[in-house]
Each structure stands twice: as C-alpha cells, then as structure tokens.
Amino acid sequence: MPPGGALMLMTAPSFAEDTLIDTEGGPIKVETVAGGLDHPWGLAFLPDGRMLVTERPGRLRIVTPDGSTSEPLTGVPQVFAKGQGGLFDVALDPAFASNRLVYLAYAEPGDGGAGTAVARGKLGDAGLDDVQVIFRQQPEIDGPYHFGGRLAFAPDGKLFVTLGERFQFEPAQDLANHLGKIVRINPDGSVPEDNPFVGQKDAKPEIWSYGHRNPQGVAIHPETGKLWESEFGPMGGDELNIPAAGANYGWPVVSWGKHYDGRAIPAPPTHPEFADAIDHWNPVISPSGIAFYTSDAIPAWKGNLLIAGLSSEAIIRLTLDGEAVTGEERIPMGTRIRDVVQGPDGAVYALTDEDDGKILRLSLESPHG
C-alpha cells in the first residue's frame, strides 16, 4: 500500500543539470533525480519502482522515479548522528512483497557510547510500524568513527551486516567483540547454526569474518552468491575482499597502507595466515557502497563491479575474471559518492555525500540524442 497523499511533499526534480561523461563504454548521461537530501547514505528500490532513501541525520524518505520526495517516514529509531555516525543502510526483506519488512542499519546511542545496530519494521502508510532492534554491536564505544553499516541479504536469506572497529584498532582481532567484524544473522536477529564461531568459547556467534577496519560496501555476487566487501584502509590501503566464513583479514596487524602518523604497517604478504584483499588502492579511493551491474542497458558494464568513491569523487568500475580484478575505470562525478545501486530500469543510481545531497541516474546516452 503506498503512503497516503498526506505524506508526500512534492518537489520538482532538477533535470536541468544533466551532463554527459565520456567513458570507455560510451557516453553516460547523468541526470539529477532528486536533491535536497542531507547526506543520503543508502537506497533500496521498492517493487513499484519508488526508492527508500536514508539520510545520515536520521531520516528515511520515499522518492518516486520522477523525483517527488516524501516527508520523513515515522518509526525510524533514534540515531547517534555525530561524525560518521547516523542512519546508514536500508534493505528490503527477501519476502518484502508479502511481509513488507524493511531493515535499517544505524549508529545507536547508548550509556556506554554508541554502536552499530540493525532494526526492522513493516512499511505502512506513513512509515515503519512494529519496529524492533534485531542486532546490537557490542561493546558500545565513545567516539564518532568507523561504524561500517552496510546490509546485504544472501541467496539463502541470511543477512550480512558490516561493523567498523570504531577506530579502536586491536579489538578487530578479538572474537569476543563485534568491532571490525562482518556478522551474519537470520532475518529475526537470531544466529544461524552454521556460522563459523558458533559454540566457540569467547567468540561472538554472529561473527562471519574479522580483522576488518571500516567496511562500508557489501554486495552479493549474482552468479556465485558470495559476499564481496569494500573497506577503508588507513593512509592508503583501501581494500576489496571476498569475506570467507571464519577468515581473518588482518587489521590492524597488516595493511596495504600506513598509519596516519606515517608509521609503517607490515604488508599482508608478511603474514600469510591472514586472508588478503583481491584488490587494494594506494592512494585511497575511499570506497563506500558497491554493486554488481547485471543489466544489458549499459552493455560495456555488464558483469562489472561498481564502487562509490568518496575522496576519489568517482564511480570506480572494475572488470572481473572470476574472482580476479582485470581492469579499472574511474568515472569522474565531481562530488563524493556514497552509494551505487542498479535500478529496475538498468540505470545506475548514485547518492552524493553532501549537505544538499542528490540522487543521480546514470544511463547510456542514446546515439540519437
């Protein structure tokens, strides 16, 4: 059931700013679908083509394909909206058509500081109803950095959640906490029996992989069903990983980058006991959301991985051969890109990380104009 008319605040889309970008796959048209969003962070398409969009200060809105933007939906939990904290990703339950469940990742305030949490609620006429928190990162930490906050449902219906190490470094190696981890839970928040550390003493049973720094991108490979993940390195050393069950990705013991004060960090090959990235970047690209492109609408991009780049102000397009990266193209966007999502129309939708944030639509320019 669509939100009632009282919810909708009609705002005109701004198509006057359309631009063309020359790319290796042909000219790409960039349209502004909607603006006026405060640091939009995550986007999920509803079955009817409308978009659920999060804003980092703690608002969730519905945006129609023509750019009309709703008032903030009700039911969003209170968020810790400081620094990198706030409302993060949004995902639909695999059975959304029948259960209407929407999942939100966010920084949750608490007595001990803040931590990344996941809540779910049923999308109703004006917002989310029957909202329940299904996961909380432990422990809570003071400080505004490294929350992670991406969500991805696997083909088996399990939910992956990325959790930053909250700028605490060493706890990423400790299985007794959720810092610097990727966790895997059932849609109700319970622990899957086949998680790698179930039954292990002094290990959180939700953990899927560990030794991560600040993972802000996840996507499920459309053919293999495997989880792929991007994360921020320190000074240099941004990574692309394929997180395996129980694997340790080495942070902060190893990195392809350096500490911010210039101190060296041992390179991953010096510790072969750790799983290594399949790609890394020096200097950094600041990778946030990622998406596999599967449509024929932009033929040259089919089968590629797209990465939202913040400091790089680009969409990074990677060509792949199985689990190996074979090439890279940086598509300059001129602004920080927080997320990339393939739309039902085959276009690529990108969120700009700005006070006046936008939803951009990228499509192949027709040779006939």
Active site residues: 146
**How many angstroms separate the most distant Cα atoms in the chain?**
64
Tell me the sheet residues that pair with 5. Answer: none
Show the tokens assigned to 311. Answer: 């400091």
DSSP of 28-83, one letter per residue? Answer: EEEEEEEEEESSEEEEEE-TTS-EEEEETTTEEEEE-TT--EEPPPBTPPP---ST
d(CA 172, CA 180): 4
Tell me the sheet residues that pair with 43. Answer: 53
In 3-state terms, what secondary structure has residue 269? Answer: helix
Tell me the sheet residues that pair with 119. Answer: 104, 133
Show the tokens assigned to 185. Answer: 């839970």
Show the tokens assigned to 260. Answer: 């911010």
In 3-state terms, what secondary structure has residue 230? Answer: strand
> SS3 string of 198-214?
CCCCCCCCCEEEECCCE
In 3-state terms, what secondary structure has residue 184? Answer: strand
d(CA 239, CA 310): 14
d(CA 57, CA 72): 11
The amino acid at residue 314 is: A
